[in-house]
């Protein structure tokens, strides 16, 4: 391995010139590297020192582990977010269903109220119509063969000797279902 070989120095020319200049300024003698010959023992010692340094670097507090799998950390962090999103979605769907049900019920009640108001208005209109008195009624003509009122083929009863016929106050259809126009104020 070349990293522990002392004879090979990877130093640029500028760096070696700077080092020599600083040594001269400080009055130091140039450093002489000892000549070490590579023996199998020194190589084994260098390799064991290198392994120990790497072990300490990996186990030192605050050391970063490059091989750590961050996928599981990311997955663990997304689980609460997914839970919250799912819960909010479920709550939103439930609220929408409630709102739709209330809107349908409101529409039904409005329709029902409109029908009741129309029925009340019809009853009020009938009550406000003037009732024809006997003096206000139209005289019925005498019966003849043309099918005019009072004739045997018409649906009005025949008039008797010039009597006035009073029209019905209420149509017959109201009498068929009297509870149809009854108004309940039980709200």
Rounded Cα distance between 180 and 170, Å, is 14
pLDDT reported for residue 163: 61
Cα torsion 144, 147, 152, 158: sign: negative
Q: Which residues contact 115 (CB under 8 A, 6 or more apart)?
A: none
Q: Which residues contact 176 (CB under 8 A, 6 or more apart)?
A: none
pLDDT reported for residue 58: 81
Rounded Cα distance between 168 and 52, Å, is 120
Report how far Cα 20 is from the mean position of its chain's Cα atoms: 75
Residue 139's DSSP bridge partners are: 164
pLDDT reported for residue 79: 94
| Listed residue (69, 8, 63) closest to 33, CA to CA | 8
Per-residue pLDDT of the chain (187 residues; tens, 9 = 90+): 455 555 556 778 888 888 888 888 888 887 676 677 788 998 899 899 999 998 888 887 765 655 567 888 888 899 999 999 999 999 999 999 999 999 999 999 999 999 999 999 988 888 777 766 655 555 555 555 454 554 555 565 555 566 665 665 554 554 455 555 555 555 4
pLDDT reported for residue 61: 72
**Cβ atoms within 10 Å of 32's Cβ, excluding its own:** 6
Q: Where are the domains of the chain?
A: 13-59, 69-125
């Amino acid at each position: 391995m070349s990293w522990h070989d002392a004879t090979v120095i990877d130093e640029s020319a500028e760096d070696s010139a700077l080092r020599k200049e600083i040594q001269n300024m400080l009055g130091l003698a140039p450093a002489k590297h000892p000549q070490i010959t590579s023996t199998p023992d020194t190589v084994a010692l260098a390799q064991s020192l290198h392994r120990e340094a790497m072990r300490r670097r990996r186990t030192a507090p605050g050391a970063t582990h490059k091989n750590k799998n961050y996928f599981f950390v990311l997955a663990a962090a997304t689980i609460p977010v997914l839970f919250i999103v799912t819960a909010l979605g479920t709550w939103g769907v439930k609220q929408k269903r409630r709102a739709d049900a209330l809107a349908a019920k409101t529409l039904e009640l409005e329709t029902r109220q409109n029908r009741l108001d129309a029925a009340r208005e019809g009853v009020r209109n009938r009550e406000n119509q003037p009732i024809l008195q006997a003096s206000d009624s139209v005289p019925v003509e005498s019966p003849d063969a043309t099918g005019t009122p009072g004739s045997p083929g018409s649906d009005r009863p025949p008039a008797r000797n010039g009597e006035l016929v009073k029209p019905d106050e209420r149509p017959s259809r109201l009498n068929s279902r009297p509870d149809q126009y009854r108004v309940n104020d039980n709200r």
